[in-house]
Structure 1
Amino acid sequence: MTVTALTVAYDGAPFAGFARQSEQRTVQGTLEDALRTVLRREVETVGAGRTDAGVHALGQVVSFESAPGDPDAAALARSLNALCAPHVAVREVRAAREGFSARFDAEAREYRYRIAAGAVPPVLLAPYAWHVARDLDAPAVRRAAAALVGEHDFRSFCVADSAEGKNTVRTLTAVELYPAEDLGEPHLVLRVVGTAFLHSMVRVIAGSLVEIGRGARDEGWLGEALAARDRAAAGPTAPAHGLTLWDVAYPGECWV
């Protein structure tokens, strides 16, 4: 039996995270309720990333087993978007091979964190960017971020309880900071790409790099925090609303 894969965007503000929870509004729960209505059967979905409460997505991927008689891709997208708007949108529907998992077949995930640095706070971007009320030393941030690229133990950069008894080694292929402008408001974008991530890992990286950018820590401190393998050694966890799951990449042979 083939699998259907949805590329999903959502505004994370109204949700208690992606993963379904009893008595909480979640993205996964919203999608599964809509799928149940459209397909007239129970559907269990798998997401590529379990984003926290308040975290957004443009490229989350959600998979579920197809069944004979399911609507075609265009009809399914229309029906789901009618039920899930305005906070969730299905951007694409694709057919995947039998056994495909949005989570376990992903070969790379890309997150972007927006930082509005400076005295003037953002207005239109306020729901999607962390306002840091001073300019940041972007070159220092870029130099420090280089220490994170490659395979490392990121135990210092995740929720401490979530790391207990788990392998915390992860591989990052890019940690980049660049200027951008959306809706007429300038900001910085921290782009982080890796094979997989720990709980709140990108947000702790963002919070730590801002500490360096504002001069509270020197550039070498980030490598020391990484080596410590202790959450207390790294910086604060940046607010959830600045983070977006931007894209998830899969091998070409996943699609049919």
Structure 2
Amino acid sequence: MTTVASATGVGPLLRGWRERRRLSQLELALRADSSARHVSFIETGRSRPSEEMILRLAEHLEVPVRERNALLLAAGYAPRYAETPLDDPSLGSLREGIERLLGGYDPYPAIVVDGSYTVVAANRGIAMLLEGVAEHLLTPPMNAMRITLHPRGLAPRIRNLREWRGHLLAQMERQIALVRSEPLRRLYDEVAAYPLPERAGGAPEDREDPASHPYVALPLRVEHGGRVLSFVSSISTFNTPMDVTVAELAIETFLPADAATVTYLRSL
């Protein structure tokens, strides 16, 4: 994804973010130590905000780092946040930390993706789950959404595919609502159009009553080696990132959701 300036100017962009956050001009002004009049003038183009004011408003509107650069460009300023390639030497400590985290989570699955769900790192637990996935889906750059939802990916082995698919598509919809990304929109359209495959062996999909099991969150229930493994997932991001690349990294870890899954994974 790239940062581009908007032809509409910074005012309408800021107004759009304010409306998404459901804040009035007065509420935003109070949070940013400004006035509703000044916010109004910025949004209508009657006043050109300083770089500091744009960043202050963006902070209180929780605008993603990439989009803060877009706001600055729309106002005629240079981007403030770099977009450093992940393989750059300056990010060596970050890469090492990520690898240590993933390795420490073994044998439970863990994966790192960027803002377009491209896989940038994964541990052996993930590799175990991907056994049997079509080779073309595992050819770099791998995409986590394609691997999960493609009929030749994990989809045929996911016991609660309709629920899990709905969860993933809703997650993408929320992300698309926050960032202006045509590649992400195209990815959503692609994976949402995948047909629901028949599960391995033709067995029926799970139709459990949520009240009948002890899961604390929607589990991913996936077949592996003749058994069903159950996981609940957690997604972590970096606090107060100062780089676009780092801001868009997400670490997803899969915690075993039942004792049988724990026992099996520890036996590997």
Scaled by the length of structure 2, the TM-score of the pair is: 0.27
Looking at both structures, which has the greater relative contact order when contacts are Cα pairs under 8 Å and sequence separation is at least 6? 1
Larger Rg: 2
The structure richer in helix per residue is 2
The structure richer in strand per residue is 1
Scaled by the length of structure 1, the TM-score of the pair is: 0.28
